[in-house]
A and B are shown apart, each in its own frame.
Chain A
């Protein structure tokens, strides 16, 4: 009951005209930069941070947070329409979003991702409102061994990301793991695969890799085929934006599962939305009775990752606001903004700055509603993008990708890497090697290695630590079940196929 009273106070704070204005400003800006390929919320938040020095802390935080979760709404738009993700987490949405678009179902895909984003975001906000302290303490109790086991589960699930040859999928995961090793080893400080190039000592930029493999490669592919994508040329009316009954059926549970996975991954510091979306997709494909539909416009393939994406960014606020432990670089920048105002997030924030805490939480939900209102009418407009002639559209997209990648670190090497990865991705795709497993291997590899070695240091080199810690054990058992299940299903299908053969 008290929570509800406090929440009501929060809404009072967040519903003032100024607060609403900054919320709208934040989410609109967020949606916009989310749609643009490569330009991410980190850059935008960093640019806007100095502005908030002059604002009331509440207003500043509302705006910065709005940019953050607003960008997640926008980031799937370009994935669906152009096969060019707006951000790294949205890369997975390309797999089924773009085929939907090619089938003339772009409006439906955009409609469903917007709803999924809203549900995912709202779900995590509910967790934040009612269970934040409990969940934050739970999340922080995860040690290196637990992280290792979770990431192993994620990596195992990654095997499902590939369409076609499993060996090729495995090769790409391994390649991703290798690329993830480039840079400075966190445990020893050793430089690995840096070839004496200082720019590589910080590792390969995730945005450069994702934009190259998915964005630039797609553009090259279209140029090579010499044909204009003809999808979604018909006028968008409310009717052909409306999902069918079957769509809703597929949507319902996948969206819930995506929200759960996203919230869980999101509140673990140091993971991030890319892992959340990839895991949600892999999970859906594993659970589905029709895994063969994935990659050809399966609704579950867009709804689960999009719900997970928004759930994870909202859930990331749980440890940030309640423990002062920011989950990623973006959260750290926002904490920096609070520190400038002399506000220190932590267990006391909820009591000492109750108005701020609850005001921000309330603004999250208001922001999500604003995003829903903002995004649904925009769908028709976005789809019209496809009627722009290819020769104008794609140079513009390529240009935006370059700007976006450059803006992450103001680094020219990243732009060159993006173009290099684009050419690489083009050739890999042509020979049936999928990019998604590579990207997941890249994200997970360093986390797995780092946590494995740290777990061993902490346990005095005893491997038993991975089964002695309950959380770790649970995830290892899940991994084993997944492996057995895959093998069983595999032999099952081969069996039935051989039976069906004449």
Chain B
């Protein structure tokens, strides 16, 4: 007698559950999140994006009430990572980390099978980091201008591979500093760049502050300028590029969380405010600054503007430098 309504009830529940899973409709913001949240990282483990996201991911998971599960999908300008992201439901349970490297890939890979500016929506920035211009302390140069004046056209700059933020920053630097005859020598990894500077086979190295913080703290290499808009609090004595005599040369790297387009705006808003809360905690601020990274969120609108601006900026640098695109 009561079996039928009970059965109907159970069936309805099941159908709703399955339907919600498969229909691709944006998740229900009221019950979000109702399972662990995947965060796709377009880099291998141990790198800057990976470490910062893992550090911030833990308290963020606590605030959300579900664990954040990091998934590394390295390689090929983030294509593998983005493809994985776009195969997930737009319900806020799968997020992706974009970086300034993503904005470079937009120009390096012309025929991407997706359009990140339309198919992904911003949540918030997470971390910001400076690049540094470094010399060998034994070289005798203590400031950028004396180095540029002394080496002139013979200036040699070490960075990692062409198409990287570091390498394009060097391209931008040579054009802004009027040093177009300088040679930018690409190395495979940051340790190789450090080695080249320690051997004295290059005059200048440009890399992320975080990556070479150890060598800077140890006095193995000497920073002569940072690429940020303001001085880096960890190195208050090191001038920004404009102060060192190179105008209009500002590069700040960033990591940001994005979701799939179509995700409920309420979920985006919730994530944005929780991230802001996490980044405001003293513990995260301290741990990030130990890494040489600034913990700072922003609004989705500001984030998207930044992404679009950087795509334009790097496209100009790539075209000016004549770098091969796919």
Contact = CB atoms under 8 A, between A and B. Distances in A.
Contacts of B72: 46, 410
Given A46-B45, A46-B46, A198-B76, A339 B214 contact: yes
Nearest to B216: A344
A133 to B, nearest CB: 13
B218 A344 contact: yes
B323 A346 contact: no
A189 B79 contact: no
A196 B167 CA distance: 23
A201 B326 contact: yes
B44 interface: yes
A342 B290 contact: yes
A490 B258 CA distance: 64
Contacts of A325: 191, 194-195, 198
A333 to B, nearest CB: 3
A189 B75 contact: no
B186 interface: yes
B147 to A, nearest CB: 18
A189 B199 contact: no
Contacts of B167: 189
B62 to A, nearest CB: 14
B324 interface: yes
Given A184-B161, A189-B324, A202-B76, A332 B54 contact: no
Nearest to B188: A186
A144 B46 CA distance: 27
B46 A49 contact: yes
A191 interface: yes
B148 interface: no
Nearest to A54: B58
B278 to A, nearest CB: 16
Interface string A345-382: 11110000000000000000000000000000000000
A126 interface: no
A346 B111 CA distance: 43
A188 B189 CA distance: 15
Given A201-B77, A409-B74, A324 B220 contact: yes
Contact of A194 (B187, B198, B220, B326): B326
Interface string B214-236: 11011010000000000000000
A411 interface: yes
A187 B186 contact: yes
Nearest to A46: B45
Interface residues of A, number: 51
A269 interface: yes
B326 A198 contact: yes
A409 B75 contact: yes
Contact of A411 (B75, B287, B291): B75
Given A46-B44, A49-B45, A450-B188, A189 B163 contact: yes
B102 to A, nearest CB: 14
Nearest to B70: A50
Contact of A189 (B185, B201, B323): B323
A269 B326 contact: no
Interface string A172-208: 0000000000001011111100101011011000000
B55 interface: yes
Contacts of A326: 191
Interface string A321-338: 001111101001111110
Looking at chain B's contact residues, is the secondary structure mostly helix, strand, loop, or mixed? Answer: mixed
A189 B161 contact: yes
Contacts, number: 143
A184 B55 CA distance: 32
A53 interface: yes
Contact of B55 (A186, A323, A335, A340): A340
A143 interface: yes
Nearest to A454: B185
Contacts of A333: 44-46
Contacts of B44: 46, 329, 333, 409
B38 interface: no
A270 interface: yes
A202 B76 CA distance: 6
Nearest to A199: B76
Contact of A347 (B189, B218, B323): B218
Interface string B30-52: 00000000000000111100110
Interface string A17-46: 000000000000000000000000000001
A473 to B, nearest CB: 17
Contacts of A53: 54-55
B109 A198 contact: yes
Interface string B55-87: 100000000000000111111110110000000
Contacts of B175: none
27 contacts: A184-B161, A187-B162, A187-B186, A188-B324, A189-B186, A189-B323, A194-B326, A196-B111, A198-B109, A199-B76, A269-B191, A270-B191, A323-B198, A323-B220, A333-B44, A336-B45, A336-B46, A336-B50, A339-B51, A339-B290, A340-B287, A344-B213, A348-B218, A409-B73, A409-B74, A409-B80, A458-B185
Interface of A: 46-47, 49-50, 53, 140-141, 143-144, 184, 186-191, 194, 196, 198-199, 201-202, 269-270, 323-327, 329, 332-337, 339-340, 342, 344-348, 409-411, 450, 454, 457-458
Given A46-B45, A198-B76, A270-B188, 19 more contacts: A50-B70, A186-B161, A187-B186, A189-B162, A189-B186, A196-B111, A199-B75, A336-B46, A336-B51, A339-B213, A339-B214, A339-B290, A345-B214, A346-B215, A346-B218, A410-B72, A411-B73, A411-B80, A458-B201
Closest 10 CB pairs of A and B: A189-B162, A344-B214, A46-B45, A333-B46, A336-B46, A346-B218, A198-B79, A198-B76, A325-B191, A324-B214
